[in-house]
Amino acid sequence: MDAAQNGQTKKHTISLLVSNKPGVLIRISLVFARRGYNIDSLVVSASQNPAFSMMNIVATGDSQTLDQILKQLNKLVDVLHARDRTGEDIIERELAIIKLRCTAQVRTDILQIAKAFSCDIVDLSDTCVTFQVSGKTEKLDAVNKVFEPYGIMEMVRTGKLLMARGEEATA
Q: Give me the domains of the chain, ranges plus CATH numbers.
A: 3-84 (3.30.70.260), 90-162 (3.30.70.1150)
Distance, CA of 34 to CA of 56 (rounded, Å): 19
Give the up-direction half-sphere exposure of residue 136: CA atoms within 13 A in the CB hemisphere: 6
Per-residue pLDDT 10s for the chain (171 aa) are: 444 445 678 889 999 999 999 999 999 999 999 988 889 999 999 998 999 999 999 998 888 999 999 999 999 999 999 999 998 999 999 999 999 999 889 999 999 999 999 999 999 999 999 999 999 999 999 999 999 999 999 999 998 999 989 988 887
pTM given for the model: 0.82
Give rounded-to-5 percent helix, strand, coil for the chain.
30, 40, 30
Distance, CA of 102 to CA of 42 (rounded, Å): 31
Count CB neighbours of 98 within 10 A: 22
| Three-state secondary structure call for residue 43 | strand
Burial class of residue 106, CB neighbours in 10 A (0-12, 13-18, 19+): middle
